[in-house]
């Protein structure tokens, strides 16, 4: 052990702190429960623990499995393990103080064999590499394919989307009071969330449908029918979505069908355990049994944001009891030293976590305070900007950002100046974090959109999720251009089933393409005419070629960072069409083929599939710009993110919107600031939990809604490294009459910050 930490210091240039030392040095067969606050270096702790298992405890690298929540986090963990592993093994192999035998043993270590990834990649690997002879490997589909099949088989099949009672149940599960914004895309999202939850929470669907009330029974049967139709379509195609992949992996683990894989596991480490669901917990426990309880879980209940995706934070906060129930003796380890932020920010974040007495009831037991590192700068105070209107707020915020990133800095009354390092820094070092990045709420401009305009012309914003994808002008022009190429006179569109909203969007897209300047030049006009006639075309033409050729005429898709994300959404949806259509995303150009009952020849039917499975989902609002489409943020643009998007990230300057739209204490926005009822996450949880092994939640729905809001803003505030700025309207001040948990209000109605706000106004 002494040699390991000596190598750690010499090869990596530092030693782990006492908190991490406790986790790293634990015996290889220990069950560890690591509660890691924001910025406490959990990735470093995990990487060092992995390497200690290999270099000190002689655990074979291929006997170690480490998972985390996202692909990006998994890539970061793997990069850290490989980097540190190669540096430490090289250092040890060259250390003449060690015996030849030890040096030779170190040279033989291959840290590349350590298995790292997400739970889904682990399940896919198990089913792919260790399947029974003669069985098909899984075809795992992404959410574009899954969404396309859910739209077609779950919602449209048998006309379910026309059923008022079925629609009422979907609205209830989405906690909707009105049909404003209630479209096909949103219905598909709710249905997909139900499909995942049925598997993740292991819902007893037979018991769920045994409802005495005839109306409720009909709704539930329709819901299960919709999900079953979707699942049967996947099964017929030998496809699996991620939930089904996890279910199949667990079934085979439980039945002893993956004994080769399980037999080699000696240690399992799980990051972001607070975002685990019941099925995933059972997979981890099954693997944990295989390695005699050598399971390390790392997480932070304060940063659990994914209840709406089926995550059950109680599985993390209750891990000590749940692990003890299977015979393990988990050892708690607390990482409390924050290495990310200034003293001022760390103190603010920790006090916020302790603000509400009701919230303390659900936090991990014996959780210590978050503390700044020993040499952390004090930093400027947490700041707040209040203005009378969102327009004024955007203008003031834009002015401040210009001074910080394009001028001589922003001066505080204390004499401190906030400025960026002009050689290394840029506007991408700041970020606006919001509950939603949408730039409009109905017809009303929201802060992200107002700030975009206020920063022009010298500073641009990066907010690809700011508008509904189908409503973006460049997207509409590209969609209309594709329609003009594939179905110029609308003949095929007129003869197939499409929901009214999709038809309306198609019409809007066609008009947009006709009026779009970039498509009205000679070259693109001739290109579209050539495609419309198909004259001289080969028998089969890949539409991917059409997509990229047509988008080349629209500079927004190759010169603009947001446009590149939108083009990727088109490409991913086209890929989904290729997987679900028998024409594989191609246009058949032979006009003389046999016609079907509707008078469509083979070429027409190939276009029909493209309208229904490629452009249709885009027009229906079923395709969203998710995190997977955004690989990086451009350095020369201000990123605007939802708080959920920002999880796991950090920014030198974090601007958190805590009330730019709260003009009055209106009930319609209470769920965003001070809930009086459940949100969709709690409604869906309550609707199914009594039919699962988890049982009914112990806390009521409103308390859980409060808990989730406190967690959301805890995550937002802890993203800041050097400067934290809160922004809101004057009407939303802590001493005003609009209750808001982000403004220091407790659920018992006390406004803690009203008399002594923990920030400086600017």
**Rounded Cα–Cα distance for residues 618 and 552 (Å):** 20
Please tell me whether 147 is known to bind a ligand: no
Question: Within 13 Å, how many C-alpha atoms sit on residue 525's CB side?
Answer: 7
Same domain, 215 and 275: no
The yes-or-no verdict on residue 651 having pLDDT over 80 is yes
- 95, two tokens: 């250390």
In a domain, 40, yes or no: yes
pLDDT band at 628 (very low <50, low <70, confident <90, very high): confident
Residue 353 lies in a domain: no
Contact 43, 82 (CB under 8 A): no
Mean pLDDT score, 736-762 = 97
Q: Which residues pair with 431 in a beta bridge?
A: 654
At residue 332's C-alpha, the angle toward residues 328 and 334, to 5°, is: 160
User: What is the pLDDT at residue 623?
Assistant: 92
Question: In this predicted structure, what is the pLDDT of residue 137?
Answer: 85
pLDDT tens-digit profile of 135-175?
Answer: 778 899 999 999 999 999 999 999 998 999 999 999 999 99
Average pLDDT over residues 576-589: 95
Is the pLDDT at 97 greater than 70? The verdict is yes
Where a domain ends, among 211, 240, 269? 240
- Alpha-helical (H) ranges within 534-669 are 543-551, 556-559, 561-580, 602-610, 616-620, 643-646
pLDDT above 80 (res 44): yes
Q: What is the pLDDT of residue 384?
A: 98
In a domain, 373, yes or no: no
CA atoms within 13 A on the CB side of 459: 28
449-473: average pLDDT: 97
Angstrom distance (rounded) from CA 733 to CA 714: 19
pLDDT digits (tens, 9 = 90+) for 176-222: 878 888 999 999 999 999 999 999 999 999 999 999 999 999 999 99
CB 40 within 8 A of CB 19: yes
Lowest mean per-residue pLDDT among 132-141, 308-317, 686-695, 744-753: 132-141
**What sections of 440-539 are H helices per DSSP?**
447-455, 473-486, 491-494, 500-515, 522-533
Q: Are residues 672 and 581 part of one domain?
A: no
Does residue 258 share a domain with residue 224?
no
- For residue 400, the domain's CATH number is 3.40.50
Taking all residues of the chain, what is their mean pLDDT, rounded to a whole number?
A: 95
pLDDT 10s digits, 495-516 = 998 999 999 999 999 999 999 9
- In the numeric block, which tokens belong to residue 303? 């940063």
Q: How many CB atoms lie within 10 A of CB 386?
A: 21
**Locus of tokens 């004994």:** 259
Are 191 and 202 in contact by the 8 Å Cβ rule? The answer is: no
Average pLDDT for 371-383: 97
36 is annotated as contributing to ligand binding: yes
53 with 7, same domain?
yes
Give Cα 122 distance to the centre of its chain: 18
Token pair belonging to 696:
């009914």
Instruction: Tell me whether residue 695 is annotated as binding.
Output: no
**Distance of alpha carbon 162 from alpha carbon 182, whole angstroms:** 13
Last residue of a domain, one of 212, 240, 268: 240
Count Cα atoms within 13 angstroms, Cβ side, for 546: 29
pLDDT, position 601: 87
Q: Nearest CA to 477 among 525, 438, 504, 517?
A: 517
Pair 723, 654 in one domain: yes
Query: Residue 645: its pLDDT value, please?
Result: 93
| Per-residue model confidence as pLDDT tens digits over 590-606 | 766 677 777 788 999 99
Q: Is residue 646 predicted with pLDDT exceeding 80?
A: yes
Instruction: Tell whether the model's pLDDT for residue 632 goes beyond 90.
Output: no
Structure tokens at 286: 């099954």
Please report, rounded to a whole number, the percentage of residues in the chain having pLDDT higher than 70.
99
- pLDDT one-digit tens code per residue, 712-727: 999 999 999 999 999 9
Confidence of residue 702 (pLDDT cuts 50, 70, 90): very high
Q: Is residue 309 part of a domain?
A: yes
Q: How many domains does the chain have?
A: 4
CATH for 98? 3.40.50.300
Q: Is 586 within the bounds of a domain?
A: yes
Do residues 602 and 573 both lie within one domain? Answer: yes
**Helix 680-689 to helix 184-200 angle, to the nearest 10 degrees?**
40
- pLDDT of 476 > 90? The answer is yes
- Counting residues of the chain whose pLDDT is more than 90, the rounded percentage is 88
Do residues 152 and 211 share a domain? yes
User: Is position 41 annotated in a ligand binding site?
Assistant: yes
Domain assignment of residue 378, yes or no: no
Asked if residue 521 and residue 412 are part of one domain, the reply reads no
Examine residue 137 and state whether it is found in any structural domain, yes or no.
Answer: no
Q: Taking residues 244-255, what's their average pLDDT?
A: 96
Structure token pair of residue 79? 């990069």
Same domain, 532 and 430: no
Instruction: Evaluate whether residue 377 is within a structural domain.
Output: no
Q: What angle is formed at CA 355 by the lines to CA 349 and CA 358, rounded to 5 degrees? A: 130
Distance CA 241, CA 569 (A): 19
* Rounded-to-10 torsion of CA 410, 412, 413, 415: -90
Same domain, yes or no: 642 and 616: no
Q: Pick 591 or 49 by higher pLDDT.
A: 49
User: Which residues make Cβ contacts (< 8 Å) with residue 141, sequence separation at least 6?
Assistant: 149, 234, 239, 240, 241, 576, 579
Nearest CA to 64 out of 76, 50, 49 is that of 50
Least confident of 336-340, 413-417, 548-552: 413-417
Do the Cβ atoms of 549 and 616 come closer than 8 Å? no
Q: Let me know whether 653 and 750 are in one domain.
A: yes
Q: Which residue has 């089904």 as its token pair? A: 244
pLDDT confidence tier of residue 740, bands split at 50, 70 and 90: very high
CA distance 216 to 212: 8
Q: Are 584 and 578 in contact (CB under 8 A)?
A: yes
Mean pLDDT, range 330-358, rounded to an integer = 98
Please check if 42 is assigned to a binding site: yes
What does the pLDDT read at residue 592?
Answer: 67
Residues 120 and 266 in one domain: yes
* 193 assigned binding-site residue: no
Nearest 5°: CA angle at 479, between 478 and 481? 65
- With a threshold of 0.85, does the pTM exceed it? yes
58 Ramachandran zone, left/alpha/beta (phi>0; psi -120 to 50): left
Distance CA 444, CA 600 (A): 45
Q: Which domain holds residue 64?
A: 1-131+245-339
Residue 134 labeled ligand binder: no
Average pLDDT on 368-386 reads 97
Which burial class, exposed, middle or buried, applies to 668 when counting CB atoms under 10 A from its CB (0-12, 13-18, 19+)? exposed
> Has residue 566 got a pLDDT over 80?
yes
188 among the known binding-site residues?
no
Name the domain boundary from 225, 240, 255: 240
pLDDT at 591: 66
**Model confidence at 400: pLDDT above 70:** yes
Would the pLDDT of 308 be above 90? no
pLDDT for the residue 681: 94
């Amino acid at each position: 052990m002494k040699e390991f930490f000596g190598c750690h210091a010499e090869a990596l240039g530092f030693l782990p702190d006492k908190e991490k030392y406790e986790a790293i040095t634990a015996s290889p067969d220990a069950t560890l429960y690591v509660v890691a606050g924001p910025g406490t270096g959990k990735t470093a702790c995990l990487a060092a623990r992995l390497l200690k298992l290999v270099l000190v405890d002689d655990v074979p690298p291929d006997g170690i499995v480490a998972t985390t929540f996202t692909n990006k986090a998994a890539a970061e963990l793997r990069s850290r393990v490989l980097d540190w592993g190669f540096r430490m093994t090289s250092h040890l192999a060259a250390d003449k103080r060690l015996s030849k035998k030890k040096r030779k043993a170190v040279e033989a270590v291959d840290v590349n064999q350590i298995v790292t990834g997400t739970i889904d990649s682990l399940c896919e690997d198990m089913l792919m590499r260790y399947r029974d002879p003669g069985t098909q490997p899984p075809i795992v589909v992404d959410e574009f394919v899954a969404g396309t099949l859910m739209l077609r088989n779950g919602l449209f099949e048998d006309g379910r989307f026309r059923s008022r009672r079925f629609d009422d149940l979907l609205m209830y599960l989405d906690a909707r009071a009105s049909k404003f914004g209630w479209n096909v895309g949103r219905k598909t999202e709710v249905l997909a969330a139900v499909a995942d939850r049925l598997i993740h929470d292991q819902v007893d669907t037979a018991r769920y449908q045994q409802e005495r009330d005839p109306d409720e029974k009909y709704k539930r049967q329709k819901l299960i029918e919709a999900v079953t139709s979707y699942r049967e379509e996947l099964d017929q195609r030998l496809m699996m979505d991620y939930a089904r992949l996890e279910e199949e992996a667990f079934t085979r683990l439980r039945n002893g069908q993956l004994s080769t894989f399980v037999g080699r596991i000696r240690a399992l480490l799980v990051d972001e355990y607070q975002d685990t669901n019941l099925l995933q917990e059972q997979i981890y426990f099954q693997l944990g049994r295989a390695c005699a309880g050598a399971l390390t879980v790392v997480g932070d209940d304060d940063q659990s944001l994914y209840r709406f995706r089926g995550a059950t934070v109680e599985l993390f906060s209750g891990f000590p009891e749940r692990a003890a129930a299977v015979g393990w003796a988990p050892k708690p380890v607390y990482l409390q030293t924050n290495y990310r932020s200034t003293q001022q920010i760390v103190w603010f974040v920790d006090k916020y976590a302790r603000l509400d007495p009701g919230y303390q009831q659900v936090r991990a037991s014996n959780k210590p305070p978050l503390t700044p590192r020993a040499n952390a700068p004090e930093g400027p105070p947490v700041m707040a900007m209040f203005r009378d209107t969102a327009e004024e707020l955007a203008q003031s915020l834009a002015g401040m950002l210009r001074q910080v990133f394009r001028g001589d800095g922003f001066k505080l009354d204390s004499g401190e100046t906030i400025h960026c390092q002009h050689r290394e820094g840029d506007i991408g070092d700041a970020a606006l974090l919001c509950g939603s990045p949408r730039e409009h709420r109905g017809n009303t401009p929201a802060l992200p959109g107002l700030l975009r305009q206020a920063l022009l012309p010298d500073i641009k914003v990066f907010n690809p999720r700011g508008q509904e994808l189908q409503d973006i002008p460049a997207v509409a022009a590209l969609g209309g251009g594709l329609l003009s190429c594939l179905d110029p006179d609308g003949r095929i569109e007129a003869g197939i089933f499409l929901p009214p909203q999709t038809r309306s969007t198609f019409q809007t897209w066609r008009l947009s393409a006709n009026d779009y300047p970039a498509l009205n030049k000679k070259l693109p006009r001739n290109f579209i005419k050539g495609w419309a006639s198909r004259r001289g075309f080969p028998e089969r033409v890949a539409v991917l070629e059409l997509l990229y050729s047509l988008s080349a005429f629209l500079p927004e898709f190759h010169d603009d960072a947001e446009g590149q994300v939108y083009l990727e959404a088109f490409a991913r949806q086209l890929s989904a069409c290729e997987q679900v259509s028998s024409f594989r995303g191609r246009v058949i150009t032979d006009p003389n083929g046999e016609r079907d009952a509707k008078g469509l020849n083979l070429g027409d039917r190939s276009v029909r599939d493209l309208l229904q499975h490629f452009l249709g989902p885009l027009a229906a609002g079923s395709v969203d710009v998710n995190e997977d489409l955004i690989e990086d943020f451009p350095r020369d643009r201000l990123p605007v993110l939802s708080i959920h998007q920002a999880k796991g990230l950090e920014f030198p300057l974090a601007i958190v919107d805590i009330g730019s739209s709260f003009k009055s204490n209106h009930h319609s926005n209470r769920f965003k600031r001070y809930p009086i009822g459940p949100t969709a996450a709690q409604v869906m949880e309550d609707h199914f939990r009594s039919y699962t092994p988890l049982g009914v939640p112990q806390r009521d729905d409103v308390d859980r809604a409060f808990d989730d809001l406190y967690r959301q803003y805890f995550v937002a505030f802890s993203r800041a490294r050097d400067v934290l700025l809160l922004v809101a309207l004057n009407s939303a001040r802590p001493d005003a009459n609009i209750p808001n948990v982000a403004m220091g209000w407790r659920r018992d109605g006390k406004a803690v910050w009203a008399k002594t706000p923990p920030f400086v106004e600017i």
